[in-house]
Amino acid sequence: MGFGIYIKSGKNKDGRSPLFIKITSQEKVFKKNIGLLIKKEDWNARTYQVKKQSVGAAQINRKLNAFISKAKEGWVLFESGAYEWEELCARMSGGDSKADVMGFIEDVFKPKMKLTSFNSYKYSLLAFMKVLGLKSLSFNDLNFSKIDKAVGLWKRNNLSGSSIETYLKHIGVIVNEAYERKLIGEPFKKKAKWRVKKTDNIIETATSAELLKNVKNVKDIYDYQTFAFWLLMFSMRGLYPRDFDQMHQHEQIIDCETESKRYVKHRRSKTGELMNILISCKPLDELFNALKASIHYTHSGNPKAYPSEWRFLQFFEYEEKDHRNVWDVYTKRSRKVVGFPFKVARKTFETYALKLNVSTEIRYRLLGHQDRTIKKHYQNWEWEDMIDLVDEAHQKVIEEFEVVKIWNALRKQAYLKKLPPILFNKVIPIEI
């Protein structure tokens, strides 16, 4: 991939030439006039700057630096997989946010949303562009005809009903916001024919037999980490990557000396519900320790991606905007290596709890669901007997899914593939 800014041949009447940006990726090429005119003798092609002695150099260089900063950020996001090619080109174009939907949501939605929520809106637009083959997105594209066509294509491609509903919800919010600002002529109206039958929403779950079979897919250290993360998400009662990011020094680790139990007191990222998660049950301690050692092996050279202290249960340390970039390598591998995406770990945990006839009250507590009626029923939500019931159900689900057996099979596969010995014999303890 290549990225650069160059001065185009040819001059206007005052002897100045336009500056262009050029990006190449395999066979794809993007060129764009960035709207600045300079004289060739004033241009430093090595630094992408106008020479200091040139007239108006300071002002031009400020504009250049702002553009280059935005362009480089887009380039990095594209290389990491966070941007599609079309979105990268739209970003580099620097279009007017009044006409460019991506620019509009950057200006209007991003400042008032959590990054995870904003990204969901952005990915819905990218899905819309992709299914219609659009290279850029204006508000003229968000009309009934094109939305109707997109829904038809999504259904034809067997996209899940829940995904279609999410895309339409996000597009509707964007359209209505643009309508309020008089950037679009009509508000969003959801059509009856866009509804998806409930039977289209098939909940995907995994079985222990499938995971035992898929252990053979582990070929390298990143495959190993991906598989171990999936197991850990399941064993931690269906947590998501965002939850692990938040297991930092603000989390409380509680030791129950009388029963040799250890808990992590964690508020679930999605609902804010408090969860006292038992982490002293097998094989949670080993999973944490092995993953910590593994991440240290692969990421210790990147201070933004690796926590500076061992004692906390957080695996990575970075700014919120980098969350998807860091986890993207694992998310992409999960379907290929484990056979199931990370989110299926949570659905699988819930399914196995149902299989074991765990009551609704305990299941909600296990999964960190938000249910005020249950909380009213149990006036003291931290009631000791309730915690014991949750711990018992937690361990039964782990045993029923044969997590220990799968974990041992994964360690054996790491050994057979001659992965670094730290993965299966040398375990660095977590200091509490």
In terms of C-beta density within 10 A (0-12 exposed, 13-18 middle, 19 or more buried), how is residue 377 classed? exposed
3-state secondary structure of 3: strand
What integer best gives the mean pLDDT of the chain? 78
Q: CA 20, CA 36: separation in Å to the nearest integer?
A: 8
| Per-residue pLDDT tens over the stretch 47-69 | 888 888 887 788 888 888 877 77
Mean pLDDT in residue range 209-225: 94
pLDDT tier for residue 244 given thresholds of 50, 70 and 90: confident
Mean pLDDT in residue range 151-174: 87
Q: CA 208, CA 100: separation in Å to the nearest integer?
A: 47
Q: Model's pTM, two decimal places?
A: 0.55
Query: Which residue stretches of 45-202 are H helix?
Result: 57-80, 85-93, 101-108, 115-132, 144-156, 161-180
Strand order in the sheet with 252-256: 252-256, 261-267, 274-278
Return the pLDDT at 319.
67
Query: Does position 431 have pLDDT exceeding 50, yes or no?
Result: no
Cα–Cα distances (Å) from 404 to 98, 235, 336, 401, in that order, read 55, 10, 22, 9
Query: Does position 95 have pLDDT exceeding 50, yes or no?
Result: no
pLDDT tier for residue 6 given thresholds of 50, 70 and 90: confident
Cβ(389)–Cβ(362) below 8 Å: yes
Outline where DSSP puts E strands in 251-292: 252-256, 261-267, 274-278
pLDDT tier for residue 198 given thresholds of 50, 70 and 90: low
pLDDT tier for residue 234 given thresholds of 50, 70 and 90: very high
Return the pLDDT at 379.
45
Return the pLDDT at 112.
82
State the CATH architecture for 208-423: Orthogonal Bundle (1.10)
Query: Does position 418 have pLDDT exceeding 90, yes or no?
Result: no
Mean pLDDT in residue range 155-182: 85
Return the pLDDT at 99.
45
Q: What is the DSSP letter of 40?
A: G
Mean pLDDT in residue range 334-353: 92
Question: Which amino acid does the sequence have at 36?
Answer: L
Q: CA 257, CA 295: separation in Å to the nearest integer?
A: 30
pLDDT above 90 as % of the chain: 20
Close Cβ partners of 6 (under 8 Å, ≥ 6 residues apart): 19, 20, 22, 45
Mean pLDDT in residue range 92-121: 73
Place of tokens 């990218």: 126
Query: Does position 422 have pLDDT exceeding 50, yes or no?
Result: yes
Q: CA 176, CA 186: separation in Å to the nearest integer?
A: 8
Close Cβ partners of 271 (under 8 Å, ≥ 6 residues apart): 368, 369, 370
CB atoms within 10 A of CB 189: 10
pLDDT tier for residue 16 given thresholds of 50, 70 and 90: confident
Return the pLDDT at 86.
65
Close Cβ partners of 27 (under 8 Å, ≥ 6 residues apart): none
Bigger pLDDT: 342 vs 201: 342
| Per-residue pLDDT tens over the stretch 372-395 | 444 444 444 455 667 888 999 999
